[in-house]
Structure 1
Amino acid sequence: MTTTLSSLPTGEDIDTAIARGRRAYELDRKHVFHSWSAQEQINPMTVLAAKGSYLWDGDGNRLLDFSSQLVNTNIGHQHPKVVAAIAEQAATLCTVAPQHVNDARSEAARLIAERTPGDLNRIFFTNGGADAVEHAVRMARLHTGRYKVLSRYRSYHGGTDTAINLTGDPRRWPNDYASSGVVHFHGPFLYRSAFHAETEEQETQRALEHLERLIQMEGPNSFAAIILESVPGTAGIMVPPPGYMAGVREICDRYGIVFIADEVMAGFGRTGKWFAIDNFDVVPDLITFAKGVTSGYVPLGGVAINEAIYDTFADRAYPGGLTYSGHPLATACAVATINAMEDEGMVDNAARIGADVLGPGLRELATRHRSVGEVRGLGVFWAIELVADQATREPLAPYGGSSPAMAAVLAACKSGGLLPFANFNRIHAVPPCNVTDDEVAEGLRILDAALDVADQHAR
């Protein structure tokens, strides 16, 4: 890529912006401690500006953002109506303690409750997804009087203490002391089936049998909750096969276990539905959300609560809260984000893009590249599983790590003008919900060239 712009979308001179970015990078390396990183081994990318589906790096290069950052800028960058709503709220009321009513929080709660399934009409606001998970689990434990919680392998639920122990990927390992009351199980993932299944029907049946046997062996009366990402995100975007989520709901009903649907990444349009759980016609007891509710513009998360769990705390104090619960800037941002998504048909656009453009395009790439083991997804939520050998399904990078091959593929994406989301041996194609057909076509062209690089490392 070469820098060809004279100015950024903000109107700032490109040379001035690049100098600003270099100063920011110097300060970052002196003072900023980065998450999930060995501090002396990273070279973080500087971002000078962003607009819509694009951002500009520290050298002024434009990149198509197929990562939606951390899969949270669901309406793209710098949506003018949302930016204006944040500014308007800041001019009116920047902050207020959570025990007081404010109109932004009330309206945000109404808009979210209108879109949740069933009777999940009570909204507890948090600062983000991890503390939403923490509070959902706390609610379930207090509601049931039980302690243990079920969570699947190949999952991610956040970086705080309970959330990281619920997580079913290697980020849990350094933080897990086997004292959090979490029991992990294998969920359905036909491409890498833990059950030797050959069909989706077999995978569903065997995964549900495995889950129920585990509950029976661990003690049915000991489990407060099961938490599942409706469609697992960072762990691989494995869409549950038909009947699985309904089967989990039935098991929870049979044993009195609270069903928590983690919608932090999959919610707010990402799968072509307001909530990913709606793809499966299942109503959970609690929903955790964050990320897309504000498109990441201001941090916000929350728990949607059904009437039965609400009733537990109707005349009994809930022992939890946050200074910034329902913060006016965040909830005003949520109101503007949800209204923009509704007014501009972004959820329907995400569904159409997935069914007619992105999904077919990725499947076509898979037919031409020996490095692609599988593509899978819904809406604007897709994973490309890269392998060294299609027959053996040997991954192009090990579980829990990376490889020179994956590094080369990601470098090819960036040099072509694409910023992907990557984890282990996968590239995730997760553009904003309002991405255009032309932008998807551009992303597919860049991916096609990057997969040529992956093919050089495949047999």
Structure 2
Amino acid sequence: MSTTNIEMKNEEIQTAETVQGYIKQVLQMIEKETVTEEEARWITKQTVENFRDHVNPGFLEYRKTVTEGGQFAAVEWSDEGSCFTDVNGKKYIDCLGGFGIYNVGHRNKKVIKAVTDQMKRQALHSQDLLDPLRAILAKILADITPGDLKYSFFTNSGTESVEAALKLAKMYSERTTFISTTRAFHGKSLGSLSGTAKGMFRKPFLPLIPGFRHVPFGDIDMMRKTFEVCKLVGEDVAAVILEPIQGEGGIILPPEGYLQQVRELCDEYGSLLIFDEVQTGMGRTGKMFASEVYNVVPDIICLAKAFGGGVMPAGAIVAKEHVFRSWFDNPFMHTTTFGGNPLACAAAIATIDVLLEESLPARAAEVGEYFLKGLLEAAKGHEDKVMEIRGIGLMIGIEFHKDEVGYEISKGMFDRGILVAGTLVNSKTIRIEPPLTITYEEVDTVIATFKEVLEHVTI
């Protein structure tokens, strides 16, 4: 072996030893329930440096509401109930809820038990044999979803659920035109991004999937005219995709009767109605699904976020039989390696059990009404800053007159131990989406903090 090759080999060995040493140090940290101040400083330093050098330095600027002096004030470390704790031991009431993930609370014990019990036996499925939990979960979804939704396809995330719904709609009718709405957010993979409305997310990736039309959310006349035009030019609508309540758009509730009228238009023109309930589903709005709030049954419903109980990434679509039949002849027309895996299915089954057993959808309605009333009361006298507070269940949006006010409110509440965040499509609005298990005492703390911060903001 040449001298050069020996040196290269030695460098490889040294690199491997260095990486292994680093890994072992990290694994030792993971074992710990609590860490020392020195360990906390090391973790914080590693987090900031590695985000900057190996993840994306943009996050350090984007998450500036949680930074202090150029360093993260909060490096998350543990969570429980309605709160999380940073590596320095500071506790925060979580009113962001992972963008709607933690409906049954952080690390719900029943969900964790179901996942760990399943892991002891089998973690992932063979891809060939029939996996029981996928079949059982599909049956449960057929029982709890509205109307005659019957067949399920499982995914790992919300954007994957939307992709599956769009492909199923195309196969059902062989039509290629979709109607979405302004302020819509359906995900960021190419198909779902085509339905998403915000130009900033879309422009770098144009052209997207052809055939998407956007109309103003809540404008049934424009929706009707778009159906008419599409038919006249031979581009009949395959489906309308809607969030029953727009989440990332700023917690926008539909006008009275709007969703029913869209349903009627779809029936009239032989088009499907897809409800994106990735954020509104699993009890968030006071019912198990927002479609039940408005008494409208879609042809396909998209689920994710809270579907995995805040423990596992999990999503699904559930469709009516005559729609899903398109995939009967060849079930491999659309697949995903990890979708519907045993751990995710165990988490989803346990999540549904908790939601039903503890009546969390009904609780969301009750606590949400109390929360909304308290926030409205706290905002009195600050109409120059607060434009509107709106919502349903524990899905509440606070809209300000200026982006800068929203930022200062978010930062002020974070400094006082409350996590909130703006919405992706409407940056003037911050969301309140805590776990459905949040206590009235915690709600009172959030309301009092909001009132205090409002009084100190001078923009």
Larger helix proportion, structure 1 or 2? 2
Deviation at 1:372, TM superposition (A): 1.1
1:100 aligns with: 129
In 2, Cα distance between equivalents of 1:334 and 1:20: 36
What do the CA deviations read for 1:121-171 (whole angstroms, capped 9, x no partner)?
A: 111001111011011001101101100111001010011001112101232
The answer to whether the aligner puts 1:446 opposite 2:449 as a matched pair is yes
RMSD: 2.0
Match of 1:29 in 2: 51
Counterparts in 2 of 1:231-380, with a 5 A limit? Answer: 231-317=245-331, 319-355=333-369, 357-370=370-383, 371-380=385-394
Match of residue 76, structure 2, among 28, 43, 47: 47
Aligned with 1:97: secondary structure? coil
Unaligned runs of 5+ in 2: 1-31, 64-71
Give 1:11 shift. Answer: 4.8
Match of 2:153 among 95, 120, 124: 124
State the partner residue of 1:210: 222
> What are structure 1's unaligned runs of at least 5 residues?
1-9, 189-206, 388-395, 398-402
- Are the equivalent residues in 2 in contact too, given 1:18–1:60 (CA < 8 A)? no
Q: 1:393 corresponds to which residue? A: none
**Structure 1: distance between partners of 2:287 and 2:43:** 38
Question: How far is 1:302 from its partner?
Answer: 1.1
Show the counterpart of 2:23.
none
Larger Rg: 2
1: CA distance between counterparts of 2:422 and 2:388? 15
Larger CA deviation: 114-123 vs 365-374: 365-374
Residues 69 and 298 of structure 1, relative CA distance in 2, 3 Å threshold = same
Is the counterpart of residue 425 in structure 1 residue 428 in structure 2? yes
Q: 1:334 to 1:439 in 2, by over 3 A?
A: same
1:223 aligns with 2:209: no
CA separation of 1:14 and 1:121: change in aligned 2, threshold 3 A: farther
Deviations for 1:28-81, whole angstroms, at most 9, x for unmatched residues? 3255425xx835635564101111111112432111100002221111111111
Q: Is the 8 A contact 1:17 1:48 kept in 2?
A: no
**How much does 1:27 deviate?**
5.5
Give the C-alpha shift of residue 253 in structure 1: 0.4
- Judge conservation of contact 2:104–2:310 (CA < 8 Å) in 1: no
Question: Match for 1:347: what amino acid?
Answer: P
Q: Which residue in the other structure is 2:40 paired with?
A: 18
CA gap of 1:138–1:41, structure 2 versus 1, over 3 A, is same
* Cα pair 1:421 1:430 within 8 Å, conserved: no
- Aligned partner (choices 434, 437, 440) of residue 440 of structure 2: 437
- The aligned residue for residue 205 of structure 2 is 175
Q: Secondary structure at the match of 2:333?
A: coil
Report the Cα distance in structure 1 between the residues aligned to 2:289 and 2:46, rounded to whole angstroms.
37
Q: What is the CA–CA distance in structure 2 between the aligned matches of 1:305 and 1:105, rounded to whole Å?
A: 15
Q: 2 CA distance for matches of 1:340 and 1:55? A: 20
Cα distance between partner residues in 1 of 2:259 and 2:211: 23
- CA distance in structure 1 between the aligned counterparts of 2:302 and 2:354, rounded to whole angstroms: 21
Query: CA separation of 1:88/1:16 partners in 2, compared to 1, >3 Å: closer, same or farther?
Result: farther
Q: Are the equivalent residues in 1 in contact too, given 2:107–2:310 (CA < 8 A)? A: no
**Structure 2-normalised TM-score?**
0.85
Q: d(CA) in 2 for partners of 1:333 and 1:442?
A: 31
Q: What percent identity do the matched residue pairs reach?
A: 28
Preserved contact between residue 162 and residue 180 of structure 1 (Cα < 8 Å): no
> What is the TM-score with the length of structure 1 in the denominator?
0.85
**Counterpart mapping for 1:114-153 below 5 A:** 114-153=143-182
| Aligned twin of 2:414 | 414
In structure 1, distance between residues paired with 2:275 and 2:332: 21
